[in-house]
Amino acid sequence: MSSQLLTLPGAVAGNGIDHDVAAHYGSFNQEQRVLEAGDGFVDLSHRDVVRVAGPDRLTWLHSLTTQHLTALPSREWTSALVLSPQGHVEHAFAGYDDGESFVAHTEPGRGADLIDFLDRMKFMMRVEVTDATAELAVSWRPGLRSTTSPDGGYEFVPRDRLMSYAEAAGPACGLWAFEALRIARGEPRLGLDTDHRTIPNEVGWIGTAVHLDKGCYRGQETVARVHTLGRPPRRLTLLHLDGTENRLPTQGEAVLRDDQQVGFVGSSARHHELGPIALALIKRNVALDAQLVVDGMPAAQEVIVDPEVGLHVRPRA
């Protein structure tokens, strides 16, 4: 669903799964500085929105996901995952409960699969799952504090009021600016920085999207075992790419050490201070000081996820 805000002056559409929102409005470097200063907003209205209503919604979602939701305070943002029986991440979403329903957003194009999964798990529970994407748009503002994104927060905006919201919350900043700051913080996106084998311990989702003190849920055994014993098979890392090449690696590009593949690149961006950066999922046993190569470009590592315990260690601004 293309965003209304693509009609704003200077708007240039994104690409890939982000083609329905603006990549930038004229200067993605300046837009990064605006967001870092605590101003502006980012249009994420291409993200899918799912609503779960009914009196059993929180206890039901609590039983299906990695998050503790039974006593979730009204309008407190949280994030959660749905895992396979083997502990691999299948769905990731963030949202809040408004007292009548739990509303969450997920990656573009993934809402239908999430709804299908939830519908198959309803059984006799008093819940109703609907697609709310046509009704609600997603925005991100740096001035908001959130447990799901400590450097800013998400908002749901009635889609028919998105233009007036932009006028009040502006200036509008594009997705390239948002992505550069997200990557620098080491925050992964499902399907871009993960693959079908990813477990939460590899990408820093323990403690944010995974609650370690809740009861049983699908895939818990894998998460608990790796958390207790440590040494997840792979780790998310921040790559500082050689800036002499005027290009960024494509998503899925192999990460090499001595001509041997040790992982793959996920998201990449040009940061206004750090230069070209990328997130990569690489084997745990790759030395932290090892020089890596991506698409012919030398790449230095900066630790995001501790290779021994699987926890996010990168300082947040």
Summarize pLDDT for 224-274 with one digit per residue, the tens.
999 999 889 999 999 999 988 889 999 999 999 999 999 999 999 999 999
Question: CA-CA distance, 63 to 69, in Å (whole number)?
Answer: 9
Q: How confident is the model at residue 314 (pLDDT cuts 50, 70, 90)?
A: low
pTM equals 0.95
Strands 234-241 and 275-283 come out as: antiparallel
The owner of tokens 């979602």 is 61
DSSP labels, 108-133: TT-HHHHHHHHHHT-TT---EEEE-T
Inter-CA distances, 165 with 44, 106, 139, Å: 13, 21, 10
- pLDDT (tens digit per residue) in 11-44: 999 999 999 999 999 999 999 999 999 999 999 9
38 contacts 143 by C-beta, under 8 angstroms: yes
234 contacts 202 by C-beta, under 8 angstroms: yes
Q: How far is CA 239 from the centre of its chain?
A: 18
Q: What percent of the chain has a predicted confidence (pLDDT) above 70? A: 97
Closest CA to 280 of 295, 270, 268: 268
Give the orientation angle of helix 28-36 with respect to helix 175-185, to 10 degrees: 60
